[in-house]
Structure 1
Amino acid sequence: MKSIYVLYTGGTIGSAGDPLAPMSTAQFRALVNQMPGLSDGLVQGEQIRYVIDGTPQPLDSSNMTPSDWVAIAQQLAGVYADYDGFVVLHGTDTMGYTASALSFLFQGLDKTVVITGSQLPLSYTVNDALANLSGALVMAAKTGIPEVTLYFDFLLFRGNRAVKVNANAVHAFDSPNFPALAALGTQLTVQTALALPPPPAAQALSSPGRLQALKEQLQRFSAAVTEFSVPIMSLYPGINASTVEAIVNGTRPPVSGLVLLAFGAGNGPSNPAFLGALSRANAGGVVLMDNTQVLAGTVSIDAYATGEGLAKAGAISAYDMTPEASLAKLIYLRAQGLAPAEIKVQMVSDLRGEITLESQP
């Protein structure tokens, strides 16, 4: 029988009241125990045992910060050796960011981590919460995918490829640039060829030495992520240099990276003052990522003169990475204390399946 650790962090799935707010872990645990097929810590008919734990303070995911990402990773690392798989229950608004962040934090992952939540609370008579929770338990126990994943509406996505695409529908998430890893219908279908390979035994977190090294690294990260900022700036018609300067120079703690949501295939204004402000930021050690604000597709930074201008200012192509993955990856690399030049190298390297480098013409 597989044993799954469920970490409740808050979010709509465990919310109640008017306006909705996350209930306590004890209340949520009692509610789950009343659900058909999930009583007594068992998934009926599936040979899956689960326990529900919670973060110290359940949150609406709009209140999540990089410090919370590290705290979630620390809590999972603390019980990693005791369970076969893991489910993180999380609010949908920033679920894509947390899924991306955890994928980078868990180097050497050799078990399945599934993040899920819901659009309607489990406490409602009509909801999508029960299907997402029970499905996530099955995915964590049975897919054998050694990745941080995101499960929603019967589909399992790579966590750092998933984005929220609908604020109201139960099909709230999709993976525009990478296929689903698994699907749950009358049978479980796993696309094994799409999953990342398990790490070598010596590098896997099931190795006590490697797990201890991760715990020590996460402890360092818990302090490091509070010492810098990585904003996201969406480009828009008429954006000017003062906007860039206000974000780069006026944000505290100081900015060390900036995710640009550019037009189309990574294009931006050719305004010399605007590009000059970006160039000065780059010269000051700010790593500039050229992402597209379009849902699907890839950045081709040299395809147009307007994209080439961003490149000359120091921006590097995000290729087909989601903005969520770019942000989380920048924070992960900066928290290691890497120099800007090394961060740029790593940002255009495939660390956890987050980027398709050959997608650029």
Structure 2
Amino acid sequence: MFKVYVLYTGGTIGSAGTPLAPVSGPDFQALAGSMPGLADGRVTGQPVSYRMDWFERTLDSSDMGPPDWFAIAGRLLEHYADYDGFVVLHGTDTMGYTASALSFLLPGLSKPVIVTGSQVPLSVTPNDALANLTGAILLAGTQAIPECCVYFDSRLMRGNRAVKVSTNQFAAFASPNLPNLATVGIGVTVNRALVRPAPDPSVSLSVPANLQALRARLAEQARAAEGFSVVLLTLYPGIRPGTVEAMLAGTQPPVAGVVIQAYGAGNGPSGADFLEVLSRADARGIVLMDNTQALTGAVDSGAYATGLARAGTVGAQDMTPAASFAKLVALFSRGLAPEEVKRLMGTDLAGELTVPVDPLLL
């Protein structure tokens, strides 16, 4: 019998009332246990059992931030040795951020961690909640996928590649720059060529010493993350240098990193005043990520004269803005120097970006 740990954090899947608000953990556990296929802590007809857990305070994901990411990661590590897979129930609004963060906060992951939720609460009929919950538990228990993923509408996506694309369709998430890892229908189809390999024993969390070391480090990272901030800067026609300066200078806690949501292949205003604001931030040690507002494709910030590479930005390649944001938080919380953070932001750590192929090697 495979064992799955399910952590309910809140979100639409467990919401009720008008306006909707997340119910308590015990109430959601009772509701889930009354659903077809999930009675008695088992998935009917499958060799999978599950245990429901929760935080004392349930949240809409719009209220969640980095401290919650560390809390979720810590709770998963607390139970890591006792289960074959993990499911995190979460609101959809910031699900991509949390799934991305977990992929960076849990290096050495050797078991599935699947983040899911729903567009319609489990208490309402019809809903997408039951299928998402059941499918996520089934995948977490039976599939050897050592990654943090998002499962929605029968599709399993790499978590740091997932983007919310709809507010009113059951297919709420997509993975624009990477095919799905698996689909669930009559059976389960896994794209094994895309699934990341099991970690080396030197870092694998299946090794007790590694697990214990990461638990201690995460506690330190959570404290360190309180001392800095990461901001999102969306470019728009007519953006003023003074507006950007106000976001990056003199804030408390100080800004350590910026995810710039630029145009197209990483373009932005080419005025000297605008670029000077970014260059001064770079000189102060603020890491500037050059992401694109486009849903698909990659950044090439040196391709056009309006590219932002001249200001010291790091091209995000095909990372999502959420992945860039979460990765900056994870790296700076480790106490790394800006130059090392810059290097690692351009390095594939958890499948979050596609490493360009050197044409000379083809």
Q: 2:330 aligns with which of 323, 329, 332?
A: 332
Note the aligned Cα RMSD (angstroms).
1.0
Tell me if structure 2 keeps the 8 A contact 1:5–1:85. Answer: yes
Identity %: 58
| Structure 2 unaligned blocks of 5 or more | none
2:36 aligned residue: 36
1:27 aligned residue: 27
1:144 aligned residue: 144
1:321 aligned residue: 319
Q: What CA deviation, in whole Å up to 9, does each residue of 1:126-176 have, x standing for no partner?
A: 110000000001110122100000000000000000010011111000000
Tell me if structure 2 keeps the 8 A contact 1:299–1:360. Answer: no
In the alignment, is residue 199 of structure 1 matched against residue 175 of structure 2?
no
Tell me if structure 2 keeps the 8 A contact 1:292–1:298. Answer: yes
2:72 aligned residue: 72
Q: CA deviation at 1:321?
A: 0.2
Tell me if structure 2 keeps the 8 A contact 1:87–1:113. Answer: yes
Give the Cα separation in 2 of the matches to 1:211 and 1:232: 32
Give the Cα separation in 2 of the matches to 1:320 and 1:202: 29
Q: SS at the partner of 2:5?
A: strand
Q: SS at the partner of 1:230?
A: strand
In the alignment, is residue 214 of structure 1 matched against residue 217 of structure 2?
no
Give the Cα separation in 2 of the matches to 1:215 and 1:61: 24
Q: SS at the partner of 1:19?
A: coil
> Which aligned pairs between 1:295-310 and structure 2 lie closer than 5 A?
295-307=295-307, 310=308
> Which aligned pairs between 1:41-120 and structure 2 lie closer than 5 A?
41-120=41-120
Q: CA deviation at 1:203?
A: 1.7
Q: Which amino acid aligns with 1:352?
A: A
Count of equivalent residues: 359
- Give the TM-score of the pair, scaled to structure 1: 0.98
Tell me if structure 2 keeps the 8 A contact 1:231–1:255. Answer: yes
Give the Cα separation in 1 of the matches to 2:272 and 2:237: 15
1:355 aligned residue: 353
Give the Cα separation in 2 of the matches to 1:213 and 1:163: 31
Q: SS at the partner of 2:278?
A: helix
1:285 aligned residue: 285
Q: CA deviation at 1:193?
A: 1.1
Give the Cα separation in 2 of the matches to 1:336 and 1:330: 10
Give the Cα separation in 2 of the matches to 1:123 and 1:250: 46
Q: Which amino acid aligns with 1:300?
A: D
Q: What CA deviation, in whole Å up to 9, does each residue of 1:176-214 have, x standing for no partner?
A: 000100000111000111011001223210111000001
Tell me if structure 2 keeps the 8 A contact 1:298–1:360. Answer: no
